[in-house]
């Protein structure tokens, strides 16, 4: 990612579908001498609550896998376990949101699998490295990652800051893609229902 030109970073940022949606985001500018961790080491930089949430998600996936071999008898059991898992996700979401630092909270203007655009009262320099915590209420989950400022444009009395994800786990990027598509589908259904006579 560091070897890419700014133009290439913009192209990579634009490769993913983005949806206009407001999600709370904690943003912290890291020191100039900060060395980005490798993707495999990202887990070690996560706050403890995010590590636990990640582990729970991994356990869910492993727990449901053996049920696939049981055929149709396992459908009700799998449904029950999915409901239990959803309850745990909601509790973890609450715990993670309490971990939010309200002094560093911003709100997204739009987001997708490649990055996020935030509204900010302060100007951020292009190339700055940012630590992010994204709180996806609709998915009852949160994501910890690092991003780079690739644009900061003045709009009215604020700035629109475009951030490309530079260190994000693959499963978290997949979650962002899934969340953006779920929101788009929900918006389309809502619009379709409003158009009905």
DSSP string, 79-115: HHHHHHHHHHHHHHHHHHHHT--GGGEEEEEEEESSE
Residue 93: per-residue pLDDT: 57
DSSP string, 41-67: GHHHHS-HHHHHHHHHHHHHHHHHGGG
Chain segment 96-126, per-residue pLDDT in tens? 556 655 567 899 999 999 999 999 999 999 9
pTM over 0.85: no
| Alpha-carbon 73 to chain mean position | 35
Ranges of each domain in the chain: 6-31+41-195
Percent of the chain topping pLDDT 70: 73
Residue 112: per-residue pLDDT: 92
* Banded model confidence at residue 166, pLDDT cuts 50, 70, 90: very high
Residue 60 confidence (pLDDT) above 70: no
Q: Please enumerate in sequence order all residues whose Cβ is within 8 A of that of 2, keeping only pairs 6 or more positions apart, or say none.
A: 36, 166
| Residues 179, 44: Cα–Cα separation, whole Å | 25
Q: Worst-scoring range by mean pLDDT, 28-32, 49-53, 130-134?
A: 49-53
Chain segment 70-87, per-residue pLDDT in tens? 666 666 766 766 666 656
Chain segment 181-196, per-residue pLDDT in tens? 888 888 888 887 877 7
Residue 187: per-residue pLDDT: 80
- CATH number (1.10.645.10, 3.30.420.40, 2.40.10.220, 2.60.40.1930) of 6-31+41-195 reads 2.40.10.220
Q: What is the mean pLDDT of residues 1-27?
A: 88
> How many beta carbons lie within 10 A of that of residue 162, not counting itself?
24
Q: Please enumerate in sequence order all residues whose Cβ is within 8 A of that of 38, keeping only pairs 6 or more positions apart, or say none.
A: none
Instruction: Choose among 138, 100, 101, 104: nearest CA to 118.
Output: 104
Q: What is the mean pLDDT of residues 40-52?
A: 82
Structure tokens at 92: 């973890």
């Amino acid at each position: 990612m560091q070897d890419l030109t700014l133009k290439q970073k913009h192209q990579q940022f634009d490769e993913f579908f983005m949806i206009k949606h407001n999600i709370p985001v904690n943003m912290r500018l890291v020191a100039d001498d900060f060395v980005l961790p490798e993707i495999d080491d990202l887990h070690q930089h996560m706050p403890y609550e995010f590590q636990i949430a990640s582990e729970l998600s991994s356990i869910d996936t492993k727990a449901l896998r053996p049920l696939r071999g049981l055929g149709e008898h396992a459908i009700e059991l799998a449904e029950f376990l999915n409901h239990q898992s959803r309850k745990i996700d909601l509790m973890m979401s609450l715990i993670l949101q309490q971990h939010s630092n309200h002094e560093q909270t911003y709100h997204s203007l739009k987001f997708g699998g490649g990055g996020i655009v935030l509204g900010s009262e302060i100007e951020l320099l292009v190339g700055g490295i940012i630590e992010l915590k994204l709180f996806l209420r609709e998915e009852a989950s949160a994501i910890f990652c690092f991003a780079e400022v690739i644009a900061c444009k003045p709009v009215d009395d604020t700035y629109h800051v475009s951030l490309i994800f530079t260190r994000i786990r693959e499963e978290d990027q997949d979650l962002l893609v899934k969340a953006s598509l779920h929101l788009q589908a929900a918006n389309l259904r809502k619009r379709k229902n409003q158009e009905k006579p």
